[in-house]
Chain A
Amino acid sequence: MKLENEDALDNFIICHKCYTLNEEHPIKDGSSARCSECGNVLYQYDSRLITNALALSIAGLIFFILANVFPLVQMDILGSEQFITIPKTIFSLLDSGFYLVGLLCAFLVFIFPLMIFVINIILFTLLTIKRGEKLTKELLILLSHVTPWSMADIFFISILVAIVKLVAFGQIHIGISFWALMAFVVIDVYITKSIRLSEIWMLRKKILLEGERQ
């Protein structure tokens, strides 16, 4: 295999799933490229990716704030009303002496998801205004370290499991936060799973090259 120089390697991509080397080809707007070996999606092309992602990130952050302020689940048990919010769940773990679990939960369901959305908003804003060459790089690196540790989606499924377990104890009311968290999780899964970081790196390169030409 012959290469003009190291940067020509940007025309190649290694599949995440099966580690096969694939060559990148320009594809139609709205379509996606799949691995030649296992059929896993390698990259997608969407000309409005940055604007869409920015809008979704802002929407996601709003839903995240709503999800943390209002009660998640409310319960009538033996005549008294009990409710939980996401922060309350974490603090109750810390209060009962489970510092390690509490801290872990705080990071996995609160700090990391919040970080991802704040980073995304800054990142996509910078890419829209075509500024901040160094900062976008740092943000992308940070994002790739944080993303595998964000577990808002798993927390949401846990709530469903907990509700089923609690049916025997008393009347359950689903709070505003539950719906807000559901919307947040849908956006979170879309952003972290369908927008690949390598696509953003390629977009960043394209924007930088355009800037150099002008």
Chain B
Amino acid sequence: MDVEKENPFRGRETVIEIDEDKLIPCPVCDAVNIDKGKKNSCRRCGCAMYHHRSFSTEKSWAYLLTAIIAYIPANLYPMLITSAFGTKEESTILGGVVLLWELGSYPVAVIIFLASIMIPVMKFLILIYLLISVKYPIGKDKKANKHKLYYLTEVVGPWSMIDIFVVAILAALIHLSSIEILAGTAATAFAISVFFTLLAAHAFDETLIKENK
């Protein structure tokens, strides 16, 4: 490839020959770097890059398992407690979606279903697939697709927070003596689950996809 452009440092060092596969982007500043093995640090921002090669996927696995465990109580306990004139009504995430659907607010029901059920479950499955596939040879031929899958989880991941924010807004707005909306235990569990899924996605080392070609 042609790199004979204006370069202020030209001539000071000898020509380096490098394999294209050895080039990795810095996770912090996106600068292209040469993979030098275990003690990498970015040439532009100086940040440590992929230092945890010896336990490359374990960190991500740990976060992911925490998220999956927290997702169980998030679905079992009530998310929203509505108490109106003495009667208390508790609804779980799925129950809330069903209730909204029955009341006829289809768009909102779909949004909540996508954000609180589809996206988290999809993220779990994609991350599990990615984490397994970088260690064991499955889906070898689809290298580009795996990067796109990872990109997808990064982009849609934060949107699962919608339900938490909605519950926070409802609880803050409606607290009269006769009508009151309260957040339930599931809110904490779900927030933890989303938080750890985001951490798991961030901890995933994208260069591993390349290495196991």
Chain A interfacial positions (CB closer than 8 Å to B): 1-14, 16-21, 23, 37-38, 73, 75, 77-78, 80, 82-84, 88-90, 92-93, 96, 98, 100-101, 104-105, 108-109, 137, 140-141, 144-145, 148-149, 151, 154-155, 157-159, 161-162, 164-166, 168-169, 196-198, 201, 209, 212
CB atoms of A13 and B171 under 8 A apart = no
Q: Please name the 8 residue pairs, one residue from A and one from B, whose CB atoms are nearest each other, closest first.
A: A158-B165, A92-B172, A198-B30, A162-B169, A14-B25, A5-B13, A89-B172, A19-B147
Per DSSP, chain A at the interface is helix
CB atoms of A197 and B29 under 8 A apart = yes
Kindly state whether residue B164 has any CB partner on chain A within 8 Å.
yes
CB atoms of A161 and B32 under 8 A apart = no
In the complex, the chain B residue whose C-beta lies closest to that of A7 is B9
Q: Indicate which residue in A12, A19, A101, A141 contacts B191 across the interface (CB closer than 8 Å).
A: A101
The answer to whether residues A100 and B191 also contact, given A9-B32, A77-B176, A161-B111 and a CB cut-off of 8 A, is: yes
Q: Which residues of A contact B174 (CB under 8 A)?
A: 75, 77, 82, 166, 169
Bound Cα distance from A145 to B48, whole angstroms: 13
Q: Which residues of B contact A84 (CB under 8 A)?
A: 169, 172-173
Bound Cα distance from A149 to B44, whole angstroms: 23
Least Cβ–Cβ distance between A188 and chain B, in angstroms: 13
Q: Which residues of A contact B147 (CB under 8 A)?
A: 17-19
Q: Which residues of B contact A137 (CB under 8 A)?
A: 45-46
The answer to whether residues A78 and B188 also contact, given A17-B151, A84-B169, A162-B166 and a CB cut-off of 8 A, is: no
In the complex, the chain B residue whose C-beta lies closest to that of A100 is B188
A93-B168, A201-B31 provided; 10 other pairs, C-beta below 8 A?
A38-B148, A73-B169, A82-B175, A90-B168, A96-B183, A101-B191, A148-B202, A154-B158, A154-B159, A162-B170
In the complex, the chain B residue whose C-beta lies closest to that of A3 is B16
Bound Cα distance from A178 to B188, whole angstroms: 26
Q: Which residues of A contact B94 (CB under 8 A)?
A: none
Q: Which residues of B contact A144 (CB under 8 A)?
A: 28-29
Q: Indicate which residue in B3, B7, B162, B191 contacts A157 across the interface (CB closer than 8 Å).
A: B162
Least Cβ–Cβ distance between A199 and chain B, in angstroms: 10
Q: Which residues of A contact B32 (CB under 8 A)?
A: 9-10, 12-14, 21
Q: Which residues of B contact A98 (CB under 8 A)?
A: 183, 187-188
Q: Which of B136-155 contact A (CB under 8 A)?
A: 144, 147-148, 151, 154
- Which segment of B56-64, B100-108, B124-132 sits at the interface? B100-108
Q: Which residues of A contact B178 (CB under 8 A)?
A: 78
